[in-house]
Structure 1
Amino acid sequence: MQLQTIDYVILALYFVFVLGIGVALRRQMRSSTDFFLSGRSIPAWVAGLAFLSANLGAQEVIGMAASGAKYGISTSHFYWIGAIPAMVFVGVFMMPFYYGSRARSVPEYLKLRFDEKTRGFNAITFAAMTVFSSGISMYAMGLLLGVLLGWDFNFSVLVSAFIVLAYIFLGGLTSAIYNEVLQFFLIVAGFVPLVYLGLKDVGGWGGLTERLAVTAQSAGFAPGAYTQSWQHMGSPAANPMGVEWFGLAMGLGFVLSFGYWTTDFLVVQRAMAADSMSAARRTPLIAAFPKMLFPFLVILPGMIAIALTTQAGGSGFALPAKADGTLNYDLTIPLMLGHYFPPGLLGLGLTALMASFMSGMAGNVTAFNTVWTYDIYQAYIKKGASDGHYLWMGRMATVGGIALSVLTAYATTAFNNIMDMLQLVFAFVNAPLFATFLLGMFWRRTTGHGAFSGLVAGTSAAAIHHGLTLPANAAGAGIKGGWLGLVNTYPSEMAQNFWTAIWAWTVCFVVTIAVSLVTKPRPDEELRGLVYSLTERPRDTGEPWYKRTGPLAVAVLGMTLVLNLIFF
């Protein structure tokens, strides 16, 4: 891949702009609330795009394209059942609790609803998750810079870490949010031409379908396995993802999806920064409209790449193999940009990729520094310090979080698709946490002892299931599982992740109920504003329809149903 002067200029302008936002906002970071929650002053449309873009990091752009190449159109389930319903749920039902309680983080809400030990356990597991997630982004950036510039992987990781550290250290969450909005528009501008050129190369959707039918048959699947999202979910052996409809609907559509979108402080933090309760509730719904269309931007390139790799002809594009002989799906987007884009347009596409990395990395680091400062440092290490001290600690946590992320970036090298590792991390943390939230918000009898016991048991169940299973392509026991023995082998890493999540959620749900029934609940007056049945529902009557959560939710769900039927 040969970059020209114009490409370097575009990349340089982007980095100057990113750092400039941090410098410009530094004077506004007068308090810890400014640094961690943007002073709760962000307009709904900005918060909505940031809510979307916090999830639209390098993990999604590179990982979903890699999954499109590995699993085909089945990857769309991560959007149409694995995101949109949960985004509607968090806007309609959960934001009133988060925003109304004035909690500064998800663990802090757990303290208000349950007790200190529940909050502490979640703070520690969430901090670990953000570090791993940030490390995955760093790994993606290291791959990108290696392909683009021929840089050593280690040097690429260090350079990317420094840039993200600089603008978060200066501007806090506000800097991250406005960079996320910029990144959203860059992704759209950079990837629309890529999809157009790729489809043109393979003969449009019809040509792509014909090529992928041959690809599917050569892999032992039905002709439509790569282009039909639901028809081949009757058996794990009938589709590339290696999962049946129940594992998909329960593992992804319910546990992982709701577990991520409703409890992950990384995205919830964006809505909590909105300037009103109404704006906070609309934030996930606003984000859902563009979210449902993103499969066409990030999954289609992967499907085109695998069609060109496995079929002779076209423009000669092919994905390279890793040392173990499997295709390196993570290189799909970088190589397709270099293959199709001329100078100038290549710079724009690469800038979009850089922006996606910055967004994913910054989102995780801002969530980490908030949870570390408020829910670990202030709660257990240094209580009662000045606000200025906590602002200083937040900046130091930013440095520490990025340093830890550098270490976790190397664990990702064991996977040929970063989305496989990311969903594994979510199965350990978000899956049991969703069971805790579901019971805590809708069953007032849930106790702090029950919540804590359930979280510990659910996380342990995830570890046991992962330790006793392996995906079919694993070389042996290790980060992909099997370190406790081997009782089951799954067709793919993703199928293993879905069932790990199911076990974690189920065990947490059952244990929480059992322990809650034998322990004393809190009185109702202490739960007002924290439990659905004891909380006054916010009303948005008198507002135009596009500012009311009900009509927006119906529109989002209706459009998503249509997309599922079209690609059934």
Structure 2
Amino acid sequence: MDYVLIAIYFVFVLGIGYLARSQVATSIDFFLSGRRLPAWVTGIAFVSANLGAVEIMGMSANGAQIGLATMHYYWIGAIPAMVFLGIVMMPFYYGSKVRSVPEFMRRRFGTGAHLVNALSFAVAQVLIAGVNLFLLATVINAVLGWPQWISLIVAAAVVLTYTALGGLSAAIYNEVLQFFVILAALVPLTVIGLIKVGGWSGLKEKVIDTHAPDGTVTATVSEQLSSWPGQALSGFESPVWSVIGIVFGLGFVLSFGYWTTNFVEVQRAMASDSMSSARRAPIIGAIPKMFIPFVVVVPGMICAAAIGDMIHLKNTGSGDGVTYNDAMLLMMRDILPNGLLGIAVAGLIASFMAGMAANVSAFNTVFSYDIWQQYVVKNREDRYYITVGRIATVAAVILAIGTATIASGYSNLMDYLQTLFGFFNAPLFATFILGMFWKRMTPTAGWVGLVGGTSAAVVVFLLQETGVINLPGQGMPFIAASAAFVVDILLSVAISLVTTPKPVAELNGFVYSMTDKSTLLGDDSRLPWIARPVPLAGVVLTLVVILNLVFH
């Protein structure tokens, strides 16, 4: 039964790719779905693209290790930035008719910043796709017993097939399907797990201290059952500095850097059929996003409280081959019966495919438009660039198989992922936000700030790795991202003051103060109030404030 369910899922996924192929007539069809998808589709795809195996395995690992403070990755580290993207930044992306985030950089800052952004983005997507591949191979090996190399090849081949056939439309329609498959897997797992431990009150009674390998306590029971001040998450012993680290490092720098400038996410909203739909897409995605931790983080907490292998790891700091990344797998192994196990495995496969297909579809767009067409082969017919995109898709999958080995060296993959975001997204956000609201910022400052900010994050990482500084817990990614942001801002301001800015006439649509917002936003007054971006954003922010108060 388990294998039948998984096989049916694969048939649907490939079928969607085949059907989407008939909609590909131009490069905009292949790379941006012809900009014709409704808001509810792009909104679900927006959150599903992020709901990859990295998030499910990594966040459940964090739930097992540090408890409720993991909620900050969602309520502080996602929702505000998603709302900001929809209200403030999507009008510029969508209204300028750019085909990618790096293309927006080129039109605002010129080719220097554009090339740095395009190359760093392409590298990041290959690395993150490798994480998804590694996790899938781990899941299939643990649950079905397949050798890892077979798991890698089969899964990579399926993603490659439907993405190369149908382009972004195939990826987005599959992400909508995968979103519901993932929920079908995680909701029963959470419910059965809570029943096993005696409900929420029973779970709180069974939570135990987390121990480091040397036996010291790294997160007490009280810390794991409270989201604030979250010292185990930030790495700061001081409650005040912990809150500052979470709000600034995670909630502002990492979060806004990821959600507002990461083309993997923005591409989904850019595929919408209107300005209003493009603005609503990330806000619609924020609604399920704020509730997803209840079926991702909570199972990790249940695992650490009720399953022997994880209990031993938390008690001693030594898991005899078990790591916190195994929390979701241990839950599936020990709690789910046959049939439901097949749904759970299909859900994890779906999460892997959603994450990897998002990385691959964004990579092929940036490689084709922003690297190949811009710097290698210009002015060819449209069909030529579709072919380049399909070849780039193959190359991305092959490279991801190679980078999967890097991910295997991390016991908690969220640390690795947040480190990558600190390298690439934090300085990009600094450049973006300064350039969008300060017309004096110059093209030279754009690329110098990016290079300097990324270098600052790398320096913090190397200092931590060599033991020069010691940032406990998950503080290093927050500090590295903050350093990248601050250095980028300082360099950009200093360079802008001594270099020549772009002419004012070229800033319309790219700088907030130089753009006619009424023309840019259009008229959505005829829509019901709940379908307008601003009122919908107000509802979302109210809900996330309530969740923070209830689970403080």
Answer whether TM exceeds 0.5 for this pair.
yes
Alignment partner of 2:57 out of 59, 62, 65: 62
Which deviates the most, 291-300 or 337-346?
A: 337-346
Q: Distance in 2 between matches of 1:94 and 1:287?
A: 16
- Cα deviation code 1:274-328 (max 9, x no counterpart): 000000000011011110001101000001111124799xxx9989999985741
Q: Distance in 2 between matches of 1:550 and 1:8?
A: 45
How far residue 168 of structure 1 moved from its aligned partner, in angstroms, is: 0.5
Q: Distance in 2 between matches of 1:114 and 1:237?
A: 37
Q: Is residue 363 of structure 2 the alignment partner of residue 379 of structure 1?
A: no
Describe the shift of the 1:164–1:213 C-alpha distance in structure 2 as closer, same or farther (beyond 3 A).
same
SS at match of 1:506: helix
Alignment partner of 2:32 out of 13, 37, 40: 37
Q: Is residue 505 of structure 2 the alignment partner of residue 521 of structure 1?
A: no
The equivalent of 2:444 in structure 1 is 449
Alpha-carbon contact 1:133-1:422 (below 8 Å) kept? yes
Q: Distance in 2 between matches of 1:163 and 1:213?
A: 41
Alpha-carbon contact 1:319-1:331 (below 8 Å) kept? no
- Cα deviation code 1:15-64 (max 9, x no counterpart): 01101111112122111111100000111000000001010111111111
Alignment partner of 1:76 out of 55, 71, 74: 71
Name the structure where helix makes up a greater proportion of residues. Answer: 2
Paired residues, number: 544
The equivalent of 1:488 in structure 2 is 469
Q: Distance in 1 between matches of 2:133 and 2:34?
A: 29
Report the AA paired with residue 357 of structure 1.
Answer: F
Q: Distance in 1 between matches of 2:486 and 2:17?
A: 43
Q: Distance in 1 between matches of 2:338 and 2:314?
A: 22
Alpha-carbon contact 2:312-2:319 (below 8 Å) kept? no
The equivalent of 2:122 in structure 1 is 127
Equivalent residue runs for 1:158-169 within 5 Å: 158-169=153-164
The equivalent of 1:500 in structure 2 is 480
The equivalent of 2:279 in structure 1 is 281
Which deviates the most, 90-99 or 160-169?
A: 160-169
Report the AA paired with residue 531 of structure 1.
Answer: V
Structure 1: unaligned runs, 5 residues or longer = 1-5, 470-480
Q: Distance in 2 between matches of 1:246 and 1:110?
A: 30
Q: Distance in 1 between matches of 2:330 and 2:164?
A: 32
Alpha-carbon contact 2:203-2:305 (below 8 Å) kept? yes
Q: Distance in 2 between matches of 1:297 and 1:81?
A: 18
- Cα deviation code 1:380-403 (max 9, x no counterpart): 110111111100000000000111
Q: Distance in 2 between matches of 1:421 and 1:355?
A: 22
The equivalent of 1:562 in structure 2 is 546
Alpha-carbon contact 2:69-2:230 (below 8 Å) kept? no
The equivalent of 2:398 in structure 1 is 403
Q: Distance in 2 between matches of 1:232 and 1:158?
A: 40
Alpha-carbon contact 1:320-1:328 (below 8 Å) kept? no
Equivalent residue runs for 1:153-302 within 5 Å: 153-212=148-207, 219=217, 221-233=219-231, 236=235, 244-302=242-300
Equivalent residue runs for 1:298-309 within 5 Å: 298-309=296-307
The equivalent of 2:510 in structure 1 is 530
Alpha-carbon contact 2:452-2:487 (below 8 Å) kept? yes
The equivalent of 2:423 in structure 1 is 428
Describe the shift of the 1:211–1:243 C-alpha distance in structure 2 as closer, same or farther (beyond 3 A).
farther
The equivalent of 1:475 in structure 2 is none
The equivalent of 1:550 in structure 2 is 534
Which deviates the most, 518-527 or 79-88?
A: 518-527
Q: Distance in 2 between matches of 1:72 and 1:399?
A: 39
Describe the shift of the 1:390–1:220 C-alpha distance in structure 2 as closer, same or farther (beyond 3 A).
closer
Q: Distance in 2 between matches of 1:43 and 1:74?
A: 35
How far residue 543 of structure 1 moved from its aligned partner, in angstroms, is: 2.2
Q: Distance in 1 between matches of 2:36 and 2:273?
A: 4
Q: Distance in 2 between matches of 1:320 and 1:124?
A: 44
Which deviates the most, 260-269 or 418-427?
A: 418-427
Q: Distance in 1 between matches of 2:220 and 2:18?
A: 55
- Cα deviation code 1:83-129 (max 9, x no counterpart): 00000000000000000000000000001111011111100000000
Alpha-carbon contact 2:367-2:392 (below 8 Å) kept? yes
How far residue 238 of structure 1 moved from its aligned partner, in angstroms, is: 5.1
Structure 2: unaligned runs, 5 residues or longer = none
Which deviates the most, 325-334 or 130-139?
A: 325-334
Q: Distance in 1 between matches of 2:16 and 2:170?
A: 6
Runs of 4+ displaced beyond 6 Å: 316-324
Describe the shift of the 1:97–1:193 C-alpha distance in structure 2 as closer, same or farther (beyond 3 A).
same
Q: Distance in 2 between matches of 1:428 and 1:283?
A: 27
Q: Distance in 1 between matches of 2:271 and 2:502?
A: 30
How far residue 536 of structure 1 moved from its aligned partner, in angstroms, is: 2.2
Q: Distance in 1 between matches of 2:36 and 2:58?
A: 32
Report the AA paired with residue 520 of structure 1.
Answer: T
Alpha-carbon contact 1:139-1:409 (below 8 Å) kept? yes
CA RMSD of aligned residues (A): 2.3
Describe the shift of the 1:199–1:324 C-alpha distance in structure 2 as closer, same or farther (beyond 3 A).
closer
Report the AA paired with residue 523 of structure 1.
Answer: P
Describe the shift of the 1:354–1:236 C-alpha distance in structure 2 as closer, same or farther (beyond 3 A).
closer
- Cα deviation code 1:469-526 (max 9, x no counterpart): 1xxxxxxxxxxx32xxx3211112x211110101111100110111011111112211
Q: Distance in 2 between matches of 1:488 and 1:554?
A: 41
| % identity of equivalent residues | 49
* TM-score of the two chains, using structure 2 as the length reference: 0.94
Alignment partner of 2:525 out of 541, 544, 547: 541
Q: Distance in 1 between matches of 2:230 and 2:273?
A: 45
Q: Distance in 1 between matches of 2:210 and 2:258?
A: 33
Q: Distance in 2 between matches of 1:221 and 1:417?
A: 16
Describe the shift of the 1:12–1:310 C-alpha distance in structure 2 as closer, same or farther (beyond 3 A).
closer
Describe the shift of the 1:284–1:299 C-alpha distance in structure 2 as closer, same or farther (beyond 3 A).
same
SS at match of 2:470: strand
Alignment partner of 1:10 out of 5, 9, 34: 5
- Cα deviation code 1:418-443 (max 9, x no counterpart): 21111111110000000001101111
SS at match of 1:414: coil
Alpha-carbon contact 1:305-1:319 (below 8 Å) kept? no
Q: Distance in 1 between matches of 2:91 and 2:313?
A: 49
Alpha-carbon contact 1:11-1:351 (below 8 Å) kept? yes
